[in-house]
């Protein structure tokens, strides 16, 4: 029983949790994305109103979070592919940290381009 809790403090466990949580968050976002795309089908006035609404700062921050989630989910997927097809090496922990850093960096680059 004690070993079960120790394995939850491993970086790979937290990478697993981040990958699953980002996947759930992205799947919750998808219907909203389709709704936003549907605004274009209802005419230019509806779409322009929606686009004006997206200029709010909190929407820009949410977009940045979305970019970070996408990058985290992508890097988690690449990590899983590596685990499937490559033998485990001690430097995989370094790759976990690198993937997290790249995810945050992509979000920051997006945020800087938005504001």
Instruction: Report the domain count for the chain.
Output: 1
Q: What is the pLDDT of residue 84?
A: 76
Tell me the CA end-to-end span of the chain in Å, nearest whole number: 49
Secondary structure element (H or E) that encloses residue 58, with its range: helix 57-85
Q: Tokens standing for 63? A: 């977009």
At 19 the pLDDT is 87
CATH number for the domain including 69?
Answer: 1.20.1300.10
> Which residue numbers in the chain have pLDDT < 70?
1-7, 88, 115
Which range marks the domain in which residue 43 is found? 2-114
| pLDDT score of 36 | 84
Alpha carbon separation from 13 to 20, 43, 50 (Å, rounded): 11, 47, 39
* Tokens standing for residue 14: 């937290």
CA angle 7/93/88 to nearest 5° reads: 85
Distance CA 104, CA 59 (A): 18
pLDDT the model gives residue 15: 82
pLDDT at 5: 61
In angstroms, rounded to a whole number, what is the distance separating the alpha carbons of residues 106 and 115? 15
* pTM of the complete model beyond 0.75: no
């Amino acid at each position: 029983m004690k070993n079960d809790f120790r394995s939850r403090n491993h970086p790979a466990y937290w990478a697993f949790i981040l990958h699953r949580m980002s996947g759930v968050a992205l799947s919750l976002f998808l219907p909203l994305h389709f709704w936003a795309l549907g605004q274009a089908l209802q005419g230019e006035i509806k779409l322009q109103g929606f686009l004006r609404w997206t200029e709010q700062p909190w929407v820009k921050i949410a977009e940045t979070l979305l970019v970070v989630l996408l990058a985290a989910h992508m890097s988690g997927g690449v990590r899983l592919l590596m685990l499937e097809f490559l033998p485990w090496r001690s430097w995989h922990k370094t790759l976990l940290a690198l993937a997290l850093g790249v995810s945050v960096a992509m979000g920051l680059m997006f945020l800087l381009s938005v504001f």
